[in-house]
Amino acid sequence: MQHSVTFTYDDRQAQVTVPTNTLLSEAARLAGVEIGQPCGGQGRCGRCAIQVTGGNVRRRSTLRLSTADLEQGYALACQTVIEGDATIYVPPQEKIERRLTTDRVVAEVSVPADYDYLLCQTVRRLFVSLPPPSMDDQTDDWSRLQTALRLQHSIERLTCSLGVLRKIGPVLRQGEWQVTAVVEYTQPPDRSAARLIDLLPGRLDEYAPLWGCAVDIGTTTVTLWLVDLVTGMVHAQVAEYNGQIARGEDVISRIIYASRPGGGEELQQRVLETINGLLERACKRVKSPDAPLTPQQIVKVTIAGNSTMMHLLLGIPASSIRLSPFITVVNHLPPLTGREVGLAVHPEALVDCLPGVASYVGADITAGVLSSGLDNAENVMLFLDVGTNGETVLGNRDWLVTCACSAGPAFEGAGVVHGMRATSGAIEEVWINSETLEPTYRVIGGGKPKGLCGSGLISLLSEAFLTGILDKGGNFNLAAPTPRVREGAHGGEYVVAWGDETATGEDIVLTRVDVDNLLRAKAAIYAGFTVLAENVGIPLESVERVLVGGSFGKYINVEKAIQIGLLPDMEWSRFEFLGNTSVKGAYYALLDWRKRERITHIARRMTYIELSADNTFYEAFTSALFLPHTDLNKFPSVAEALSRTHKKSEEEAPYATRADTNLS
Amino acid sequence: MPLEIPKDKWPGSVRTVTLGAAAAEGGTRTKTVTIGGQTAMPYLHFEASPPHPPAVAVEIKSRPPEDWSPLLLEAWGELVNDPAAWAKKAEEIGADLIVLALTLADRPEEAVNVVQSVLRATGVPLIVWGPGQAEKDNELLVPVAEAAKGERLVLGICEDKNYRTIVAAAMANGHLVQARTPMDVNLSKQLNILISDMGMPKDRIIMDPTTGALGYGIEYGYSVMERLRLAALQGDAMTQSPMIVTPGFEAWKTKEAKVGSGVPEAWGDWKERSVNWETITAITLLESGADIVVLRYPESVARVKQAIQELMTA
C-alpha cells in the first residue's frame, strides 16, 4: 500500500509516495530532504530526530527521546516506519545539535544563595577616620590606626607586616587621616583579631569590587577563577596546562625530578609562572572603566590541589610522599601571604592553601567533596575525580572513605597525540557511522578542529569500539573497510579528521598508544572505585548517586563513558557531572569561612584506604583494562548495545534493497 | 566415627578439545589427542577423575637450533638437521604431540614443506609455532594453515597484539589456536574473548598462560593456572579452555640446565640436574592443571609420562 509523506523544512515542502513500512529516513532521502545520520541509521545517536505533525507512523525505537520529546511528536527518522499518510517537520540543523538524554552538562557557576559579604567574608575593606596628630596627641601612626580600628570596628588585636608598616605613614597623610584598611579577620567568626593587608588613602566606594581568586593546581591542568569578594561573582575563568608537565606527567616523576639538585626550585618556578600567567589573563578579561585590573589588586587567594602539587608550589620537599610509609610534610597549612609564596598578587594577600588528607588524597579532593555536597548527603554517594590522579570518595554525612590511583593525564587531553584541553577547537563529541565508518564530530566553538579533548576522546573510543574499529583489547582492526584505519608509526590508527578539514592542516588521529593510555586511565579509575566499594562492603548498585568531577569538558556523555567501562553500568539518571569540583570547592572556601571550616572538618574525618597494600587493586585494574571490562556481565547495557549494533547491520541490509526496488 | 572427606561440586568444567584429525575427519593423523573435560581440580580422584590424561609434546625446530644447550644437541644428534626424522623419533619415544617451531630464516614455501614432511613422517597431531615475530608469524602460518587444511593443527602463538591473522587462518582451514598471555588470569581471559569474538569456536582454543621454570617464577605460573582452573570450574566460560605450557623451553633457559662448567660441585651431575629441572618443572605444572606440557629432552618424555600414569591412577 502506498502513502503520501510531506516534509516541511526551511519553509519549504517536499512530498513523496512510499509503500507501508518505509523508513522515514528513506522517505526523506527519496524526497530530497537531507537528514544527518551520524551513527549510520542505527538509532544510536539521536541526531535524526524529526517531528511528526500528523499521520500514521510506528516508532521501532525511541532510545534517544525523552517523554517530553515524544509528547511533542518527535521520532527518530532512522527508527520510524510509515504506516499511513504523514506530515513531517524537519527541524533546522542547529536544533538537531541537541543534547542527548545521557548528556550531563556542568551547571553554570552561581554565587551561593547564602553568600553575604558582611557575614561570610574574612577579607574586608574598612573605612577608618583618624584624629590627626598634634602637639597634644603625639601617638605614633601605628597605635593611632590600631586605636581607630578598635573604636570604629572593634578590632582588638591588629597585626601587620614590616612592608605594611613602611607604608602607613605616607598613606595616612596622603588620605588626610581618612583611610580604607583592607584587613583579614584571622579567627572568624571572631572579629576582634585581624591582620592589616593594605592601607589605602581616602574612602573607597563600599561596593567597589574587592578581588580574590580560587585556584586548582592539577597535575596536568591549572584552573583559576577571578572573583569579586563583595558580590561573590566569578568574573573570569581561565585554565592552562601546568608548566611542570615538561618535567614529568605524573606526581611520582615530578617528585623524583624535584629531588634532583635545583629540581624543586625549577618545578616551583614553573607552576608559579603558570599561575601568574593565568592571573594576568584573568585580570585582562575584566573590563574596567578606569584603571585596568592588575594581579596586585588581588588580596585573597584560595588554593586547592593534590598534596604533591601543594608541596611543590611551596617548595616543601615532597620526597616522603613517594616513599613508604607515604606521608606528607604537612596536610594542614598555615595561612600564607602572596609574597611568601611568590604569587604576582598583592604581596600581603592572604594565600589560603586548603587541607589534604594524605599523600595521595589532597586538597583537591577535600574541596571536591565540599563542592559536590557529598559530606552532607543522606544516602551513600560516590564521588569520582576523573583526573591525572583518579581519586574516589564514597560515603555520606556520617562517614567518608577515599582512595587514589594514578590514572594518567589522558582524559585531560595530555599524553594523547592529538589531545588538547577542552577549549575552542577541541572535538568534544564524535559519532561513527557503523556502515561507512565515517565520523561526524562537534567542535567547541564551531570552527575547524585542532584536536580532541577528554569528552571527545571518550566518545571516540566508545564509537570506535562499538563499530568494530577497535576490538575489546583496544587493537585496531586494520582490515576495517575504510582508509581512515591505517598503519601508523606505533601500530594502527584512526583518522578522525583529514588534514584539509583541520585548523592545523594535519590529520587528527587516534593512535594505538593513545588508546592504551585511555584504557589505562579508565581502568585505574574503574578499579579504584570498585575496590573501594568492596573494601567497605557497599555494593555499587546501592550507591544512590555518582558524582563525576573532572576538567575534560563541559559535559560528559554518560552512556559513552559506560560503554568504555569508565563509569559503572547504572541508570543514566544516577550520574551527575560537576566539572572541576576542586576549583569550585576552593571558590566556596574563598567566599565563606564556614565552608572553609567544613573543608577542614572533611579532611579530618575522611578515612584513607591505601590501594597498594595488597594485590586486589592490580587484579581489578587488569580486568578493567579491556573494553568495556573483562567481565561483560558487569556491563549488561553495553552487551546489549553490542548485540544491537551487530544485529541491526544484518537486519537492515535487505530492507534497503527493498526500498531501492520500489524506486525503480 | 568415620572421617568424611568434604567434596566440592563445581558448576563448570574444562572444555574438551581434540587435536589432530584422522582420515575420516578430513586429516591424515593416525592418532588424535583429546584433552580437557575435567570437572574437579587436578587429580582429586575422590571428587572426579580427569576423563583424559594430559599430553606430552616434544618441541622440534625447522632448522638446527642455535641457542639450545649442548646437552639437547647431543641427545638428538644428527636428527636436528632433519625435522621429519626428528619428529618421527620423538613419536617413537612416546611423544603424544609434536611441536614444530618455525624460524625467522624460513621462507613461506619452506615452512609449508617442512610441515608437510613432518606430517608425512608422523601419525600424531602437530602444533606449529611461528618464529614469534608478528609479521613473520603471519607470513609463515597463513600458507601452512592452507596447506594443512583439515589436519586440526594447533597454530601459535597468538598474543593480544597479534592474533587476528592467525585466528582467521585457523578458522578458515579447520585448525586450532594457541593463545598466549603473560601470567595473568585477566589477560588470559581477555585474549580468549578477543579470539572468540572473531567467531572462533571455543573448543578450538588452547590457553597458554606462560610459566616460569622451577626456581624462576614457577610459583607465579602455578598460581595463575590454579586460579584459571578454579574460575573454569566455577563456570566462567572464558577460562574453560585446556592449558598448554612450555616447561622444556623454560627449564632449558636456566643457568642450572644451560651451564656445565664453573658451577658449584654440589650442583651434581650436569645432565641429571638438567633433566630433573625439566621434569620437575613439567610435573609441577601438571599438578596445577596443565593439559599439554611441551618438553625438549628425550629422557624427560619417559619420566613425565611415568608421572602422568601415576597421577591418573585413583
Residues A423 and A347 in one domain: no
Would residue B48 count as lying in a domain?
A: yes
Q: Say if B73 is an interface residue toward chain A (CB within 8 Å).
A: no
Contact between B194 and B202 (Cβ < 8 Å): no
A477 contact residues in B (CB cutoff 8 A): 164
Contact A630 B193 (CB under 8 A): yes
The confidence score (pLDDT) of residue A654 equals 35
Same domain as A232, residue A166: no
Domain presence at residue B25: no
Distance from CA of A489 to the nearest CA of B (A): 15
- Say how many domains are in chain B: 1
In this predicted structure, the answer to whether residue A644 has a pLDDT above a threshold of 70 is yes
Rounded Cα gap, residues A110 and B172, in angstroms: 63
pLDDT tops 90 at residue A290 = no
Within an 8 Å CB–CB cutoff, is residue B183 touching chain A? no
User: What residue of B is the nearest CA neighbor of A492?
Assistant: B161
- For the cut 50, the answer to whether the pLDDT of residue A392 exceeds it is yes
Cα of A562 to nearest chain B Cα, Å: 19
Q: What percent of chain A has pLDDT over 90?
A: 73
For A335-347, give one letter per residue: b (16+ CB within 10 A) or e. ebbbeebbbbbbb
B9 touches chain A (CB under 8 A): no
In A, what residues contact B, Cβ < 8 A?
471-473, 475, 477-479, 491, 619, 622-623, 625-626, 630, 632
Q: What would the 3-class secondary structure string for chain B be?
A: CCCCCCCCCCCCCCCCEEECCEHHHCCCECCCEEECCCCCCCCCCCCCCCCCCCEEEEEEECCCCCCCCHHHHHHHHHHHHCHHHHHHHHHHCCCCEEEEECCCCCCHHHHHHHHHHHHHHCCCCEEEECCCCHHHHHHHHHHHHHHCCCCCCEEEEEECCECHHHHHHHHHCCCEEEEECCCCHHHHHHHHHHHHHCCCCHHHEEEECCCCCCCCCHHHHHHHHHHHHHHHHCCCHHHCCCEEECHHHHHCCCHHHHCCCCCCHHHCCHHHHHHHHHHHHHHHHHHCCCCEEEECCHHHHHHHHHHHHHHHCC
Percent of chain A with pLDDT over 70: 96
Contact at CB, A472 and B186, closer than 8 angstroms: no
Are A466 and A534 members of one domain?
Answer: no
pLDDT per residue over A147-193, tens digit each? 999 999 999 999 999 999 999 999 999 999 999 999 999 999 999 99
Interface test with chain A among B135, B189, B193, B228, by most A beta carbons within 10 Å: B193
Which residues form the domain of B129?
Answer: 43-312
Question: Residue A194 — very low, low, confident or very high, per pLDDT cuts 50/70/90?
Answer: very high
At A645, is the pLDDT very low, low, confident or very high (cuts 50, 70, 90)? Answer: confident
pLDDT band at A655 (very low <50, low <70, confident <90, very high): very low
Split into its structural domains, chain A has a count of 5
Q: Which tens digit of pLDDT belongs to each residue from A427-448?
A: 999 999 988 999 999 899 889 9
Mean pLDDT in residue range A580-596: 97
In a domain, B193, yes or no: yes
- Given CB atoms, is B104 within the 8 Å cutoff of chain A? no
Give the best residue of B158, B190, B195, B238 to mutate against chain A (max A CB count within 10 A).
B190
Same-domain pairing of A258 and A312 = yes
Supply the pLDDT for residue A646: 66
- Which CATH number covers residue A544? 3.30.420.40
B213 touches chain A (CB under 8 A): no
Residue B245 belongs to a domain: yes
A283: in domain: yes
What average pLDDT does range A287-295 have in this prediction? 85
Which whole-number Å values give the CA distances from B230 to A152, B41, B42, B223, B286, in the listed order? 79, 7, 10, 10, 15
Would residue A438 count as lying in a domain? yes
List, for residues A300-316, the tens digit of each pLDDT value: 999 999 999 999 999 99
| In-domain check, residue A643 | no
Confidence bin at A658 (pLDDT 50/70/90):
very low
Residue from A469, A475, A476, A627 to probe the interface with B (highest B Cβ count within 10 Å): A475
Per mean pLDDT, which range of A456-460, A514-518, A553-557 is the poorest?
Answer: A553-557
A221 and A345 belong to one structural domain: yes
Of A484, A509, A534, the last residue of a domain is: A509
Residue A270 is predicted with a pLDDT of 97
Query: How far is residue A88 from each of residues A4, A54, A66, A77, A612, measured CA to CA in Å?
Result: 11, 7, 19, 10, 59
Position A614 scores a pLDDT of: 78
Min CA distance, A624 vs chain B (Å)?
9
A467 Cα to chain B: minimum distance (Å): 13
A59 touches A443 (CB < 8 A)? no
pLDDT tier, A523 (very low <50, low <70, confident <90, very high otherwise): very high
Residues A233 and A340 in one domain: yes
Q: Is residue B218 part of a domain?
A: yes
pLDDT at A43 over 90: no
B193 in contact with chain A, both atoms CB, cutoff 8 A: yes
Q: How confident is the model at residue A377 (pLDDT cuts 50, 70, 90)?
A: very high
Same domain, A502 and A549: no
Size of interface A-B (CB pairs under 8 A): 36
- In this structure, are A225 and A349 located in the same domain? yes
* Dihedral, CA of residue B237, residue B238, residue B244 and residue B246, to nearest 10: -150
Note whether residue A639 is domain-resident. no
Q: Which of B161, B162, B186 to mutate to test the interface with A (most CBs of A within 10 A)?
A: B186
Whether residue A240 is found in the same domain as residue A345:
yes
Q: Is the pLDDT of residue A652 over 50?
A: no
Domain holding B258: CATH number? Answer: 3.20.20.20
Of A477, A479, A630, the CB nearest to B189: A630
Average pLDDT, chain A: 90
pLDDT digits (tens, 9 = 90+) for A476-502: 999 899 999 999 988 899 999 999 999
Query: What domain range is A535 assigned to?
Result: 366-409+519-633
Q: In which band, very low, low, confident or very high, does the pLDDT at A99 lie, cut at 50, 70 and 90?
A: low
Mutation site, A516, A617, A622, interface B, largest B CB count within 10 A: A622
In a domain, A656, yes or no: no
Q: Is the pLDDT of residue A661 over 70?
A: no
pLDDT (tens digit per residue) in A112-133: 999 999 999 999 999 999 999 9
Q: Is there a domain that residue B231 lies in?
A: yes
**Residue A605: inside a domain, yes or no?**
yes
Instruction: Report the pLDDT value the prediction gives residue A205, as an integer from 0 to 100.
Output: 85
Chain A residues within an 8 Å CB radius of B194: 471-473, 475
Q: Which of B161, B186, B197 is nearest residue A630 as measured by Cβ atoms?
A: B186
Partner A contacted by B190 (CB < 8 A): yes
**Structural domain contains residue A109:** no
pLDDT at A284 over 80: yes
State residue A653's pLDDT score: 37
Q: A302 and A426, same structural domain? A: no
- pTM value is 0.86
Q: Which of A472, A477, A622 sits opposite B184 (nearest CB)?
A: A622
Compare CB distances from B186 to A475, A478, A623 and report the shortest one's residue.
A623
Task: Answer with the residue of higher pLDDT: A607 or A43.
Answer: A607
Residues of A in contact with B190 (CB under 8 A): 472-473, 625-626, 630
Q: What is the CATH classification number for the domain harbouring A162?
A: 3.10.20.880
Does residue A217 sit in the same domain as residue A319? Answer: yes
pLDDT, tens digit only, all 314 positions of chain B: 788 888 989 999 999 999 999 999 999 999 999 999 999 999 999 999 999 999 999 999 999 999 999 999 999 999 999 999 999 999 999 999 999 999 999 999 999 999 999 999 999 999 999 999 999 999 999 999 999 999 999 999 999 989 999 999 999 999 999 999 999 999 999 999 999 999 999 999 999 999 999 999 999 999 999 999 999 999 999 999 999 999 999 999 999 998 888 899 999 999 999 999 999 999 999 999 999 999 999 999 999 999 999 999 97
Cβ atoms within 10 Å of B38's Cβ, excluding its own: 29
Higher pLDDT residue, A421 or A655? A421
Q: Are A569 and A638 in contact (CB under 8 A)?
A: yes
Q: State residue A95's pLDDT score.
A: 52
- Residue A539 counted as domain residue: yes
Q: Is residue B62 part of a domain?
A: yes
What is the structure's pLDDT at A197? 97
| A552 and A405 assigned to the same domain | yes
- Does A622 sit within 8 Å of B193, measured CB to CB? no
The single-letter code of the amino acid at A209 is: P
Chain A contacts in chain B segment 218-257 (CB below 8 A) = 238
Residue A475 to residue B164, Cβ atoms within 8 A: yes
Q: Which residue of A has its CA nearest to B164?
A: A477
Task: Using CB atoms, pick whichever of B184, B185, B197 lies closest to residue A472.
Answer: B197
pLDDT the model gives residue A249:
86
pLDDT for the residue numbered A664 = 30
In a domain, B1, yes or no: no
Q: What percent of chain B has a predicted confidence (pLDDT) above 70?
A: 100
